Amino acid sequence: MSEKIPLAGVIGSPVAHSKSPLLHRHWLERYGIRGYYVPMDVAQVDLKSVLAALPRMGFVGVNVTIPHKETILGLADLVSDRAALIGAANTLIFRADGKVHADNTDGIGFIENLRQGAPGWDPAAGPAAVLGAGGAARAVIAALSEQGVREIRVSNRTRSRAEALRAEFGPKIVVHDWVQAGGMIEGAATVVNTTSLGMVGKSEFRVPLDALRPGMVVSDLVYTPLETAFLAEARARGCIAVDGLGMLLHQAAPGFERWFGRRPEVDHAARAVLLAG
Ligand code: NAP
């Protein structure tokens, strides 16, 4: 009797830095699932042929990372609404009928992390202030909008990228100039850094934070270091600070569930695996 062992992985280039294999292997082992999750360095030129071959090799799906997250949309047979809205996919499901389904779970990961780190978070509590307008910002804004946040203030160094978000997401997006980024925090209920500022090896985070008030929910997508200067100051000012590692964990859970048939837990043990890796 032949038993099919499900295979999954992550495709990107470079891919060696990805923490996804550590996490998925932890979950596979923890739940006693016979399956494998492997990193695969795939060049842009090979993407199409690799995508055609993987399902035939026993793969049930893959995560997609830099630089293929946008290109992959054009190669998938089905694209979820949220992946289309965000303009990128991070999770592929190889369906039994041969079709490749592209999804984006970054937004879900962001919201689940926020709800876990700030259980009383209420989308209707007031405006959200989002720093940055790159790929991660798109996922965050789409998710905040879907949750019912009525006003989303956006500030980005390159203003035109923030304006483009307004054109796509509509009038609930209010663009603030980058030099006034600190000012848009005034009266916000949720504040999110989606820029790479404050990340190890990147520029320092220097946005003025005087407008932060106790009780505001503040999240940083940067998770190296785990406690960024932005989060440390937010915490010192009495805000509820939510680090970015949980987003990485939560965005991985839906893919694992679809491929291996079990919803994995995002808890201390899973966090510890990423922190140690
Ligand atoms: P991206 O598309 O390259 O966007 C980078 C953003 O950072 C842009 O808004 C960019 O502004 C801004 N930025 C970069 N350097 C800056 C500087 N010196 N001054 C002001 N703004 C600057 O990258 P991304 O994919 O959105 O990722 C952004 C960050 O989120 C990264 O640190 C990434 O690791 C993190 N992230 C975390 C998770 C998670 O699971 N926690 C998920 C996704 C991303 P311009 O438009 O002006 O260049």
Same domain (yes/no): 137, 220: yes
Same domain (yes/no): 90, 156: no
What residues are labeled active site?
A: 69
Same domain (yes/no): 136, 218: yes
For 4-18, the pLDDT digits (tens) are 899 999 999 999 989
Contacts (Cβ under 8 Å, ≥6 apart) of 54: 62, 94
The tokens 């995002």 sit on which residue? 266
DSSP 210: T
Q: Give nearest CA residue, ligand 1 atom 44.
A: 136
**Residue-level pLDDT at 232:** 98
**Residue-level pLDDT at 3:** 75
**Residue-level pLDDT at 269:** 97
The dihedral built from the CA positions of residue 238, 239, 244 and 250, taken in this order, carries a sign that is: positive
CA 6 – CA 128 distance, rounded (Å):
41
Domain residue limits at 156: 107-243
Same domain (yes/no): 164, 231: yes
CA 224 to centroid of ligand 1, rounded, Å: 13
**Residue-level pLDDT at 2:** 58
The tokens 């010192």 sit on which residue? 236
Does the Cβ of 199 fall within 6 Å of ligand 1?
yes
Same domain (yes/no): 80, 111: no
Instruction: Give the chain's residues under pLDDT 50.
Output: 1
**Residue-level pLDDT at 277:** 80
CA 207 – CA 201 distance, rounded (Å):
18
Which of 168, 233, 230, 175 minimizes the C-alpha distance to 198?
A: 230
- The minimum-distance atom of ligand 1 relative to the CA of 161 is 46
CATH number at residue 48: 3.40.50.10860
CA 245 – CA 113 distance, rounded (Å):
8
CA 132 to centroid of ligand 1, rounded, Å: 7
The pTM (predicted TM-score) of the whole model is: 0.94
CA atoms within 13 A on the CB side of 264: 29
161 a known binding residue?
yes
**Residue-level pLDDT at 257:** 98
